[in-house]
């Protein structure tokens, strides 16, 4: 999507591919804290009942000194980012995430 946008808009849009890829890879890192595996089944952890993965993921990224732009993508990729600002990279990752998620919602 990013490459197509660059082809379509040229110099009118700047997309940092390194930030985009890093953010895309890490958007669900917070799920390591949001869920527990119990008896072979995923359940929401006690931490996950309080804080969803976009928040815990952004906190993990900050803890390891990842760039704020990557933290932003992690924090805003899901519905939590709907009411605020999203960078171009975050918009791309947000839509890519839902393109892969929507077909499985029933």
Question: For residue 37, which phi and psi values (nearest 5 degrees)?
Answer: -100, 115
Q: Which residues fall within 8 angstroms of residue 56, CB to CB, at 6 or more apart?
A: 30, 33, 34, 47, 48
Over the stretch 13-49, which tens digit does the pLDDT of each residue have?
999 999 999 999 999 999 999 999 999 999 999 999 9
Over the stretch 60-85, which tens digit does the pLDDT of each residue have?
999 999 999 999 999 999 999 999 99
Residue that the structure tokens 């999203």 belong to: 86
Inter-residue contact 76 to 28 (CB < 8 Å) = no
Residue that the structure tokens 């040229």 belong to: 10
Q: How far apart are CA 16 and CA 10, in angstroms?
A: 13
- pTM here? 0.90
Q: Domain ranges in the chain? A: 16-104
């Amino acid at each position: 999507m990013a490459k197509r946008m660059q082809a379509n808009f040229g110099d009118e849009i700047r997309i940092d591919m390194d930030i985009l890829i890093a953010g895309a890879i890490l958007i669900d890192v917070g799920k390591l804290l949001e869920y527990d595996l119990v008896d072979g089944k995923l359940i929401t952890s006690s931490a996950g009942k309080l804080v969803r993965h976009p928040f815990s993921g952004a906190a993990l990224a900050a803890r390891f000194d990842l760039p704020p732009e990557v933290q932003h993508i992690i924090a805003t990729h899901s519905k939590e980012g709907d009411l605020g600002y999203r960078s171009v990279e975050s918009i791309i990752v947000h839509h890519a995430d839902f393109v892969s998620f929507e077909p499985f919602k029933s």
